[in-house]
Each structure stands twice: as C-alpha cells, then as structure tokens.
Structure 1
Amino acid sequence: MTEVLVGTKKGLFVLEGDVGSGFDVKARAFPGQAVEYAMRDPRSGRYLASVTSWFYGGRIWATDDPAGEWQEAEGIALPEEGDQSLARIWVIEPGVADGDVYAGGDPGCLFESHDGGLTWSLNRGLWDHPTRPEWNPGAGGLCLHTIVPWPDDPDRLMVAISAVGVWLSDDRGATWRYSNAGIVPEYLPEEAQDAEFQHCVHNVRRSGSRPERLFMQFHGGVYRSDDAGATWIDVGDGTDLPSDFGFPIVVDPADADSAFVIPHIGAEDRTTPGGAVRVWETRDAGASWSPRTEGLPQQNAYLTVLREAFDTAGEGSGLELYFGATSGEVFGSGDAGASWAQIADHLPPVHSVRTA
C-alpha cells in the first residue's frame, strides 16, 4: 500500500492504495483552503502541510494523524521591520540531522526547524544576502520551491529560486553562493544571458545512488550536473523531447542515469503538447529520451502539471511514479512508467503530489 498526499486548491487529500487495485481517499484536511504542499517525515511519521490563507498568507501545520487535529507551527513569519509579506510556503523538505526540516517560500525565503517542524526560524544567511536587491520573480512569484539536502552531511544544502537560480551552502545555511554555470536563460536578450541572477529554475532532484548527480527542469531546457551543482550541462537540446519547457522532474533513486519529465508547450501555453499526456524517460543520463504513454490520455488532454506535482516511491523495476494535474486528475505507475492508471479524478486543481 502506498500513501499519496495531494495538495490542492481546496484542501489536502490523502490517498491510499496501489496502482493495480486502486486508491481510496483516506483523509481530507483543510477543506476550502489552498494546500500548496504536504509531506510525511519518514523519520518521525509526522505530517506537515503548507496552507495559504487569504488573510494570513503562508503557514505550516503539523499532525500525527491527517484525519485528526492539526497544530499550527510557530515562527513562520518574515521580519517585522521589513515591508515584505509572506505570500506562501512552496515546499517542505526533511533535512539530514535529526529533527531538521526546511521550508521554502515567497519572497525567496528559507525557513528551518530543528524540532521536526513544530517551530521555525528564518534563515538569515539567504534572507540577508547582499545580492537580494538584484533578484527578480518569475511568473509564479519570487518562490523558493526546491530544497535538496546532501545525504549524510547536514552542512551541505542546495536551494533553487525562481527566477534567481541555484544556491549552495556548505555550512548549514550560514553562507550561500550562486551556482548557475552552464545554464542559458534564452528568454533574456542575448546580451543579458550572462546575468548572474535571472535563472528561472523550475525544479531540481538529486540522485540517491550518486549524490553529486542532479537533474534540473529549467524554464527552457533540461539540465544535468555531475559535480554537485557546481556546473550544469544541457541534456534536452537535440533530443526527441517535444519541448524544453516544463515544471517537474524526478529521478530513480537506484539509477543515477534515470530521470523523468513531463514537457509542456512553452510559457505562453503551459499544457501538454498536442493534447497528449506523455511522461518522458531517460535511461542514459539525458543522451536520449523516450515517451511513456500506456494508460495516459492521448487525445484532447491539455493538462498542466505543476512543479511539485510529480513524485516517486520505491526504486528500480519497482519504481512507482505519481503526478497530478490542475484539472483534478492524479495518475500513477507501479512499473517505472511502463504503464499508467488514473488513481483519482474530480479533485480540485492539484498543487502538489508527495508519497509518504
């Protein structure tokens, strides 16, 4: 049995089941409220959810039972002396050290917790970075949407911000350096493409078996890093991918050469090309890409899959893949993408999908 947490525009849905026999809604929380993201910490079993209030902005809630009572976490706030407000929390990610959890939000902020997500503080190293006045938002805002810890080393951390780029820290977030070498922001005029802080990264995932390897979905391009994010190589250009634009990307934890993307028509449309839903897979580190379509709608299906709405469970031949669309469908694969089934429909617009 697999548990899939689906954050939507109208609440959190907890699905339970398997792709072969179907899924049921085990619990629903925060009805009528926008749940940007939800996850279950594998170390403690605690559930954490990012909920956006029209009045209070982004907040984090915690529980041990998603069908029971939720407790609002403390400390999710920006400095009172500033004039910026917290629009939302985009993502929540467990750290490496016991109790460490990170959360990223808009405007380009990182929060950290050392008690499993019950109390939080703003990471001042990134908030006070001297280049912040040069940062500009993407279409979704100035969102810190990607947090990538380094296995077994709590000092090393990567984050990504739209439309700023990739940032690395080697001292648990005390100091940060940008790391966009090799990424080409073709949406900028040619004379401005060497800008340091105009990189609209959409998502980054690390390989579980080879942590120095990362895959990135960019605003225009799919990239790979073989040196822990120091430099990036375009692995989408010249391949069969129908578009270099997309939001999510996931990797097989057991195979550093395997990654999956869901391309969209570029920024002017942001739907699946040709009305056909295809998950594209590489098994050779991006040298080639192949579509996986069995069980997915191939006609008049103009879906939009957001950056946090694609996740995995397991690995290798038993890799499970799950993604959700803003039209309310959730699809799953129990055989590493070879075949797919719809596991939920008629949900509110899906913001995020995370396996527990």
Structure 2
Amino acid sequence: MTELLVGTRKGLFVLEGDEDGPFAVTARAFAGEPVEYAMRDPRTGRTLAATTSPFYGPKIWVADDPAGEWQQAHGVSLPEGGEESLARIWVIVPGEEDGLLYAGGDPGVLFESRDGGATWQLNRGLWEHPTRPDWSPGNGGLCLHTIVPWPGDPGRLLVAISAVGVWLTDDGGATWRHSNEGIVPRYLPEDAPASPIAHCVHDVRRAARRPERLFMQFHDGVYRSDDGGGHWIDVATDTDLSSDFGFPVCVDPSDPDSAYVIPLVGALDRTTPGGAVRVWETRDAGATWRPRSEGLPQEDAYLTVLREAFDTAGEGAALELYFGATSGDVFGSRNAGASWFTVADHLPPVYSVRAA
C-alpha cells in the first residue's frame, strides 16, 4: 500500500492505493485552507502539516492520524520586535537524530524541533548570518524550501534558499557558509555585479547511496555535485532536455546516477513545453536525458508542477514516482517512469506531494 499526502490550496488530501489498484481519497484535513506541505515521519508514523491561514498566518500541525485530531505546534514564530514577519512554512524534513525535525520558511528561516514536531526553535546561526541584509527574494519570496540532511551525521546539513542559493553547515547549524561555486545565474543582466549568494536554487536532492552526490534544479539550469555541494557541474547544457527551467528534482535511492526532472518553458511561461507532460530521466549522472511520457497527457496540457510536488517511493526497477500539478491532477508511475497513470484529478491546485 502506498500513501500520498497531497497538500493543496484547499486542504490536505490523503490518497491510498495498493500495488495494482487505483488510488482513493481516504482522508481530508484543513478543508478550505492552504496546506503548503505535509509529510509522515517514518520514525514515528506521525503526520505533520504546514498551513497558511489568511487570519492567523503560518502554522505547523501534528497528528497521529491525519483523519483524526490535529495539535498545533508551538514556537513557529520570529523574534518579537523585528520588522520581518513569518510568511510561510515551505517544507518539513526529518533530521538524523531521534525526534529531530527541520522546517524551512519565508523569510529564509530554518526551525528545529527535538520532540517530534511539538515545539520548534529558530536556528539563530542562519537567522543572524552577517550576509542576511544582502539577501533578495525570488519570485515566490525569500523561501528556505530545501533541507537535505547528511545520512548518519546530524552535524552536516544543506539548505537552499530562493534566491540566496545553497548553504552548508558542519556543526549542526551553529555556523553556515554559502556554496554556489559553478552555478551560473543566466537570468541576471550581464553588467550585474557578481555575487556569491544571488542564486535562485529551486530544489536539491541527495543520492542515498552516494551522499556526496546531489542533483539540483536551478532557475535556469540543472546541476550535479560530487563533493557534497562544494562545487556544482552543469548537466543540462548540450543535452536533449526540452528546457533547463523547472522546480522539482528526484533521485532513485538505489542508483546515484539516476535522477528525474520535470521541465517547464521558463520563468515567464511556467508550463510544460508544447503542452506535453514529460518527465525527463538520466541514467548516467546527467550526461544524457530522455523523456518518459507513456500515459501522460501529450496535447493541450499546459501544466505547472511546483517544487515540492514530486516524490518517490521504493527504488530501482520498482521505483514509484508521483507528481501533482496546479491543475489539480496527480500522476504516478510504478515502474521507474516507464509508464504513467492518473492517481487523482479534479483536486484543488497541488502544492506538495509526499509518498509513504
């Protein structure tokens, strides 16, 4: 049985499907409210969700059963007396210690919980970084949208912020350094002054069996790192990719050479190129890419897939891939992208998809 937690503009939907059968909506929570992100902690089975109320602002909620009662977490706020306010929680990720969770949000903030999500504290090392006055937001805000732990080492962590790039810590978040070497922000004017932090990263995923390898979807580029994010290599130029603009990226946990992206036309037209929905796959670490589209709409389907709306379950030949679109459609593959089927349609615009 595969469970999908689908965050949408109008609530959280829980979808379940067995190995060969269709998916069905088995629960809904936060009806009518934007759910930016939801995930199930694999260590405890508890579900966490990030909502954005137009009246009460961003909140994190925790439940033992997504169909049951939800409890509001505490501490998800910025220091009092400042000029900035918390706009949104983008992502929640398990850490490498029991009970440890991270949450990223706007304006470029990282929260930490050490009790399974009940209470949270602001990471002061990033909040008080001396370069913060020079940080600029991307089109979606100053969002810390990507959190990538290092397997087995709670001191090492990568985060990505739009549009401030990649940041690394080796001491559990006490100190941070930016790490954007090799990335070329082609969207900036040629006469713009060079900046080591003006980089609009869209998503980063780690290869589970080779943790020093990472794949990145950039604002206008796809990159790979083989040294834990210290340096980035262009893997989109001179390939067959229909576009190097997109939001999410996924990696096969069993194969550090295999990754998937969903290209969009570009910054102005954030839809699937030519109205054909295609997931592009590399099996050689980005040297070549090929489209996988059997079962996906190929005519007049101008979809937008957001950065948190693509996820995997399983690995290898049985790798399951799932993504949702702002059209309210959710698609899935149970054979590593060789063929696709419709998981759900007519949902509200999809913000996030997480498989469990």
**TM-score range for the pair, normalised by the shorter chain length:** over 0.9
Equivalenced residues, count:
356
Q: Secondary structure at the match of 1:192?
A: coil
Residue correspondence of structure 1 range 62-141 to structure 2 within 5 A = 62-141=62-141
Range that drifts further, 145-154 or 19-28: 19-28
Residue correspondence of structure 1 range 166-185 to structure 2 within 5 A = 166-185=166-185
Partner of 2:306: 306
Q: Is 1:291 aligned with 2:291?
A: yes
Instruction: Note the C-alpha offset of 1:330.
Output: 0.2
> Does the Cα contact within 8 Å between 1:52 and 1:58 map onto a contact in 2?
yes
Unaligned 5+ runs, structure 1: none
Partner of 2:263: 263
Distance 1:321 1:90, change over 3 A: same
Instruction: Note the C-alpha offset of 1:176.
Output: 0.2
> Does the Cα contact within 8 Å between 1:47 and 1:65 map onto a contact in 2?
yes
Q: Deviations over 1:43-79 (max 9, x none)?
A: 0111000000112211100000000000000000000
Partner of 1:230: 230
Find the aligned partners of 2:170 and 2:26 in 1 and give their Cα distance.
Answer: 40
Q: Deviations over 1:94-137 (max 9, x none)?
A: 00011100000000000000001110000000000000000000
Q: Is 1:27 aligned with 2:27?
A: yes
Instruction: Note the C-alpha offset of 1:193.
Output: 6.5
Instruction: Note the C-alpha offset of 1:190.
Output: 2.1
Find the aligned partners of 1:128 and 1:38 in 2 and give their Cα distance.
Answer: 28
> Does the Cα contact within 8 Å between 1:13 and 1:25 map onto a contact in 2?
yes
**What value does the CA root-mean-square deviation take over the aligned residues?**
0.8
Find the aligned partners of 1:192 and 1:337 in 2 and give their Cα distance.
Answer: 40
Instruction: Note the C-alpha offset of 1:194.
Output: 3.0
Q: Deviations over 1:259-317 (max 9, x none)?
A: 00000000011000000000000000000000001000000000000000000000001
Normalised by the size of structure 1, how large is the TM-score?
Answer: 0.99
Q: Secondary structure at the match of 1:240?
A: coil
One-letter code aligned to 1:98? D
Partner of 1:343: 343
Partner of 1:156: 156
Q: Is 1:252 aligned with 2:274?
A: no
Partner of 2:276: 276
> Does the Cα contact within 8 Å between 1:19 and 1:343 map onto a contact in 2?
no
Instruction: Note the C-alpha offset of 1:166.
Output: 0.1
Q: Secondary structure at the match of 2:352?
A: strand
Partner of 1:56: 56
Find the aligned partners of 2:341 and 2:193 in 1 and give their Cα distance.
Answer: 41
Find the aligned partners of 1:175 and 1:197 in 2 and give their Cα distance.
Answer: 16
Q: Secondary structure at the match of 1:13?
A: strand
One-letter code aligned to 1:80? E
Q: Deviations over 1:135-173 (max 9, x none)?
A: 000000000000000000000000000000000000000
Unaligned 5+ runs, structure 2: none
Find the aligned partners of 2:308 and 2:257 in 1 and give their Cα distance.
Answer: 21
Q: Secondary structure at the match of 1:191?
A: coil
Partner of 2:324: 324
Instruction: Note the C-alpha offset of 1:26.
Output: 1.0
Q: Secondary structure at the match of 1:190?
A: coil
Moved over 6 A (4+): none
Distance 1:10 1:110, change over 3 A: same
Instruction: Note the C-alpha offset of 1:81.
Output: 1.8
> Does the Cα contact within 8 Å between 1:19 and 1:332 map onto a contact in 2?
no
Partner of 1:10: 10
Find the aligned partners of 1:193 and 1:227 in 2 and give their Cα distance.
Answer: 27
Identity %: 75
Find the aligned partners of 1:56 and 1:229 in 2 and give their Cα distance.
Answer: 37
Instruction: Note the C-alpha offset of 1:228.
Output: 0.1
Range that drifts further, 48-57 or 334-343: 48-57
One-letter code aligned to 2:171? D
Instruction: Note the C-alpha offset of 1:189.
Output: 1.6
